[in-house]
């Protein structure tokens, strides 16, 4: 500032001098307190000449503040799609910010990368720390099963960024944890020989798993006469004049029936299994086949003496009333949920009407980490069990671990890649094996707690796919998103 009046000029100079001396004094006293240490690569002599922002950085270097979260902005969203002998086909989503922090999530296995790419136009320029608000903006572009993959993958990547920005693990942002290790359950490969099948399950126990699942269903009866009526494998093809197939026909409409002989054959698998592995370990079942509620009731009742942990998806989740009838008809626990998008999308009704004993959301479909916790909390309030389905990469598996750690009555999280040797190598930063003795230690590092092993991701890129290539074509999509008028 220039003063025309000499007197005022002198006063201004004196004020400036005083101010400089005060600052020098305060720096000297600060250096004294710092004890002459050289910290953060800056010597004290060097610090005296440093800019104000460097001095602030110096003074606050032991404060857990990774960035300036209120200034964070989303700048980009890109995809690397992997598959092959490491994981079911999974697009990995990466969100970039203006402060160099990036976050990762998985679009659900088998889903399209475009489900996430579409959301880029709704996220650019937004602060990623407002996770719930952003979820509110994008949730209308998700749906059940694979269609939930884009919204869920983005939600996980946002939490990863928030955790890194505030320097805390994601579970901490959800209210803290109920456990230090999360219990995992695993599936196994199917065999038509009950003894061989039991041996494979025993191998899982020997690997340290404490909860199991087996696929048992009418496929195991293929070629055995007198076991299945209207079998999809019958010599005459019940679908020969239809535009659909058995696989694409919803359960009540196949009119498949399982005979007493068929039920006995299936129970033989459970009998051999239990006689080999005993009754101390929980064992669930999945993939029974497509048939109506009467067959489901017969099979659930026949299974009662084998004390299954649950029967999964034996009736499509949409048929709430039929699931309720089944649940009330048997003491075998009934479970569903891996294809439901959001608490309000189906879980609420299933839980409130007590139509199942256990819910089984997949965080990559359900809406991500926070929505999965909300489902778990709602189940808890109604006395319904809560476990998690998972079949994608290790990033979202660990995202699921954070949701599991932060939910009071969590049971088990599915590990679908036990036999994939490079699956754990897709990420770095986890100390030791991710799954050990059937448990995952909850990560304590900021965000989800791992980074991608880029060489490994490149190795398993789907042919023709690029490694997080720019996506400017998704920057702008014009539409009025308001859902009411």
Binding site for Mg ion (CB under 5 A): 286
Rounded to a whole number of angstroms, the minimum distance from the CB of residue 411 to Mg ion is 15
Rounded to a whole number of angstroms, the minimum distance from the CB of residue 336 to Mg ion is 9
How is residue 352 written in tokens?
């409130």
**Nearer to Mg ion (CB atom), residue 361 or residue 368:** 361
In the complex, residue closest to Mg ion by CB:
286
Sort strands 257-258 and 451-452 into parallel, antiparallel or unpaired: unpaired
**Nearer to Mg ion (CB atom), residue 286 or residue 295:** 286
Distance CA 329, CA 391 (A): 31
Cβ-contact 339, 365 below 8 angstroms: yes
**Nearer to Mg ion (CB atom), residue 317 or residue 378:** 317
Rounded to a whole number of angstroms, the minimum distance from the CB of residue 286 to Mg ion is 4
**Nearer to Mg ion (CB atom), residue 286 or residue 424:** 286
Rounded to a whole number of angstroms, the minimum distance from the CB of residue 326 to Mg ion is 16
Rounded to a whole number of angstroms, the minimum distance from the CB of residue 167 to Mg ion is 37
Q: Cα-Cα-Cα-Cα dihedral of 202, 204, 207, 209, to 10°?
A: -110
Distance CA 324, CA 314 (A): 12
Cβ-contact 146, 365 below 8 angstroms: yes
Distance CA 197, CA 203 (A): 10
Q: Is 388 helix (H, G, I), strand (E, B) or coil?
A: strand
Cβ-contact 159, 447 below 8 angstroms: yes
Rounded to a whole number of angstroms, the minimum distance from the CB of residue 424 to Mg ion is 22
**Nearer to Mg ion (CB atom), residue 160 or residue 338:** 338
**Nearer to Mg ion (CB atom), residue 93 or residue 356:** 356
The residue among 295, 374, 311 whose CA lies nearest residue 340 is 374
Rounded to a whole number of angstroms, the minimum distance from the CB of residue 160 to Mg ion is 26
**Nearer to Mg ion (CB atom), residue 95 or residue 216:** 216
How is residue 122 written in tokens?
């709704």
For the chain, the C-alpha Rg in angstroms (whole number) is 28
Q: Is 297 helix (H, G, I), strand (E, B) or coil?
A: helix
How is residue 55 written in tokens?
């001095």
């Amino acid at each position: 500032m220039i003063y025309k009046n000499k007197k005022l000029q002198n006063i201004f100079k004196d004020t400036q001098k005083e101010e400089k001396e005060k600052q020098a004094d305060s720096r000297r006293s600060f250096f004294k307190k710092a004890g002459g240490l050289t910290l953060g690569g800056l010597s004290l002599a060097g610090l005296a000449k440093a800019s104000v922002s460097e001095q602030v950085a110096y003074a606050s270097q032991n404060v857990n503040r990774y960035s300036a979260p209120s200034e964070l902005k989303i700048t980009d969203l890109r995809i690397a799609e992997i598959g092959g002998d490491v994981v079911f086909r999974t697009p990995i989503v990466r969100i970039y910010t203006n402060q160099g922090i990036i976050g990762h999530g998985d679009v659900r296995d088998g889903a399209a990368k475009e489900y996430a790419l579409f959301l880029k136009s709704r996220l650019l320029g937004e602060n990623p720390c407002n996770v719930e608000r952003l979820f509110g903006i994008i949730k209308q572009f998700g749906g059940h099963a694979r269609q939930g993959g884009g919204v869920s993958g983005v939600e996980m990547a946002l939490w990863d960024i928030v955790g890194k920005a505030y320097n805390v693990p994601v579970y901490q942002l959800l209210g803290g944890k109920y456990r230090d290790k999360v219990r995992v359950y695993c599936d196994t490969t199917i065999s038509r020989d009950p003894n061989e099948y039991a041996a494979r399950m025993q191998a899982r126990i020997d690997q340290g798993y404490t909860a199991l699942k087996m696929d048992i269903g009418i496929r195991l009866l293929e070629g055995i006469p007198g076991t299945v009526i209207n079998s999809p494998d019958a010599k005459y093809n019940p679908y020969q004049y239809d535009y659909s197939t058995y696989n694409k026909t919803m359960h009540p409409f196949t009119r498949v029936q399982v005979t007493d002989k068929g039920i006995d054959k299936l129970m033989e698998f459970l009998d051999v299994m239990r006689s080999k592995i005993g009754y101390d370990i929980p064992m669930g079942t999945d993939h029974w086949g497509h048939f109506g509620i009467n067959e489901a009731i017969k099979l659930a009742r026949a299974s009662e003496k084998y004390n299954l942990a649950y029967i999964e998806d034996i009736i499509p989740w949409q048929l709430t009333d039929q699931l309720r009838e089944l649940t009330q008809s048997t003491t075998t626990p009934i479970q569903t949920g891996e294809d439901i998008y959001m608490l309000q999308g189906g879980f609420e009704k299933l839980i409130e009407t007590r139509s199942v004993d256990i819910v089984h959301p997949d965080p990559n479909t359900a809406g991500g980490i926070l929505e999965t916790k909300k489902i778990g909390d709602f189940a808890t309030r109604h006395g319904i069990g809560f476990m998690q389905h998972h079949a994608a990469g290790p990033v979202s598996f660990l995202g699921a671990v954070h949701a599991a750690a932060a939910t009071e009555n969590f049971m088990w999280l599915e590990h679908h890649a036990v036999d994939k040797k490079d699956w754990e190598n897709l990420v770095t930063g986890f100390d030791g094996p991710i799954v050990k003795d059937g448990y995952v230690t909850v990560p304590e590092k900021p965000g989800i707690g791992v980074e991608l092993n880029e060489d490994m991701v490149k190795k398993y890129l789907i042919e023709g796919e690029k490694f997080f290539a720019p996506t400017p074509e998704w920057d702008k999509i014009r539409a009025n998103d308001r859902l009411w008028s």
